């Protein structure tokens, strides 16, 4: 792949080091993006503890800009390295940390960041955690009520219990009887959740009967930190929000063979009133229409036969079947992994780099 690029920064104060460098006063690293902007990543200590900050030097204006920082920030370490992958993202590799917290991306000009810049009217950057080792992308599964997606997810979890895990959602409603915080939901105050949403810490959220529900970036990271792939069972609107976020995932929509069959399945459950059934049918019609939105779902599976649909779901999730070895990851679904980048740099993140 060639040598890792080192970027020269001109006319910056405080002797900020450039590109791949860890031995620096104040632990600051700077890289150029394009011709006009230099991004400075610095680790510092203050009264509130250690923090990682971002500054942007606008060469055309000759001034510093403090951007709005979205996403969950990485915890400070004893040093870091910064590498520009393209003009959209900076790879930040931390030293003296465990392998599952070593690799982060600072998004500076991705589609998500550009959208947030327009929305907020100012400079924006966003943190996203790197994928470690052989970990695969999370899976977003959507589909109308009664289509059988819950059964399909259960089968996936039962067949691969050590591979998949669920993220725990956040909500502002009060716990019900026997519900445990951190198990059934992360129960939180409305003001706290609204602030976290504004700070970009949620992949998706919705207001339901006066309460907020949502999936946080940290909740998805918690699943991947355990070495598992996260499954997100969310509606189409939630899938749209996740698609617009910095999370790289596989998006799958489960569709009924027909609308009449979906209605038949809902009525066969005999658990809801006519009013509730009609509401679910209205929502289903809207979701089926939205599922065809260009670029939203990677795969649309018709659940006309449960076992056939399940086999297709496994293929979409990146599994093929080998008679000798059983399920394995399909090479077609491989994506950028930080281990590959680490091998490219020929560097152990637990060791310090020297100038």
Q: Write the pLDDT tens digit of every residue in 90-147.
A: 888 877 655 555 678 888 988 778 888 888 889 999 887 665 443 478 999 999 988 9
Angle (CA) 19 21 27, round 5°: 105
- Specify whether the CB–CB gap between 95 and 22 falls below 8 A: yes
Residue 19 or residue 141, greater confidence: 141
Q: Is the model's pLDDT at 249 over the cut of 60?
A: yes
Query: Could you give the percent of the chain with pLDDT greater than 90?
Result: 25
CA–CA distance from 94 to each of 82, 98, 283, 342 (Å)? 9, 9, 45, 12
Residues serving a catalytic function are 176, 269, 280
Q: Is the model's pLDDT at 321 over the cut of 50?
A: no
What pTM, to 2 d.p., does this model score? 0.59
Q: Is the model's pLDDT at 88 over the cut of 80?
A: yes
pLDDT of residue 102: 65
- Specify whether the CB–CB gap between 73 and 127 falls below 8 A: yes
- Specify whether the CB–CB gap between 146 and 284 falls below 8 A: yes
Residue 288 or residue 210, greater confidence: 288
SS3 call for 166: strand
Q: Is the model's pLDDT at 328 over the cut of 50?
A: no
Mean pLDDT rounded to a whole number for the chain: 77
Residue 198 or residue 10, greater confidence: 198
- 275 burial (CB, 10 Å; 0-12 / 13-18 / 19+) is exposed
Residue 212 or residue 347, greater confidence: 212
pLDDT in tens, 54-71: 999 999 889 999 999 887
Q: In what order do the strands lie in the sheet with 186-187?
A: 186-187, 170-171, 211-216, 202-208
Positions of E strands within the chain: 28-33, 37-46, 49-58, 63-65, 68-70, 80-84, 89-94, 103-107, 124-129, 139-142, 164-166, 170-171, 186-187, 202-208, 211-216, 229-233, 250-255, 299-302, 319-322, 326-329
Domain 139-317 classification at class level: alpha beta
Average pLDDT of span 310-330: 62
Domain ranges of the chain: 27-129, 139-317
Residue 147 or residue 22, greater confidence: 147
Average pLDDT of span 157-167: 83
Rounded Cα gap, residues 292 and 295, in angstroms: 9
Rounded Cα gap, residues 195 and 198, in angstroms: 5
Which letter does DSSP use for residue 110 in this model?
S
Dihedral class, residue 101 (left if φ above 0, else alpha if ψ from -120 to 50, else beta): alpha
Average pLDDT of span 25-46: 80
Instruction: Give the count of alpha carbons within 13 A of 184, CB side only.
Output: 11
How many residues comprise the chain? 355
Q: Is the model's pLDDT at 227 over the cut of 50?
A: yes
Q: Is the model's pLDDT at 183 over the cut of 80?
A: yes
Dihedral class, residue 83 (left if φ above 0, else alpha if ψ from -120 to 50, else beta): beta
pLDDT of residue 42: 86
Average pLDDT of span 149-165: 86
pLDDT of residue 48: 58
Q: Is the model's pLDDT at 260 over the cut of 70?
A: yes
Which letter does DSSP use for residue 258 in this model?
-
């Amino acid at each position: 792949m060639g040598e890792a690029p080192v970027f020269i920064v001109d006319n910056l104060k405080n002797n900020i080091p450039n590109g791949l460098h860890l031995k620096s006063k104040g632990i600051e690293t700077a890289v150029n993006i394009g011709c006009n902007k230099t991004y400075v990543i610095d680790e510092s200590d203050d009264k509130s503890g250690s923090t990682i900050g971002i500054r942007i030097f606008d060469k055309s204006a000759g001034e510093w800009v403090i951007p709005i920082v979205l996403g969950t920030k990485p915890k400070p370490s004893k040093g870091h390295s910064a590498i520009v992958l393209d003009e959209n993202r900076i790879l930040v590799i931390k030293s003296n940390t465990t392998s599952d917290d070593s690799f982060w991306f600072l998004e500076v000009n991705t589609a998500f960041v550009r959208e947030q810049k327009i929305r907020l009217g100012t400079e924006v950057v966003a943190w996203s955690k790197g994928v470690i080792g052989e970990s695969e992308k999370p899976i977003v599964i959507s589909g109308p009520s009664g289509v059988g997606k819950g059964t399909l997810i259960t089968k996936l979890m039962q067949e691969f219990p050590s591979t998949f895990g669920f993220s725990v959602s956040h909500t502002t409603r009060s716990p019900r009887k026997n519900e445990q915080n951190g198990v059934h939901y992360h129960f939180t105050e409305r003001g706290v959740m609204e602030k976290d949403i504004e700070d970009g810490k949620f992949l998706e959220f919705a207001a339901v009967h006066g309460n907020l529900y949502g999936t946080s970036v940290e909740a998805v990271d918690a699943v991947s930190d355990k070495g598992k792939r996260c499954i997100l069972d969310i509606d189409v609107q939630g899938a749209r929000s996740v698609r617009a976020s910095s999370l790289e995932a596989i998006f799958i929509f489960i569709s009924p063979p027909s609308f009449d069959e979906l209605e038949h399945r809902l009525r066969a459950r005999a658990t809801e009133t006519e009013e509730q059934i009609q509401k679910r049918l209205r929502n289903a019609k809207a979701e089926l229409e939205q599922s065809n939105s260009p670029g939203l779902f990677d795969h649309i599976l018709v659940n006309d036969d449960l076992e056939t649909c399940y086999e297709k779901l496994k293929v979409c999730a990146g599994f093929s079947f080998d008679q000798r070895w059983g399920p394995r990851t399909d090479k077609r679904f491989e994506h950028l992994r930080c281990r590959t980048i680490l091998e490219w740099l020929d560097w152990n993140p637990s060791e310090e780099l020297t100038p």
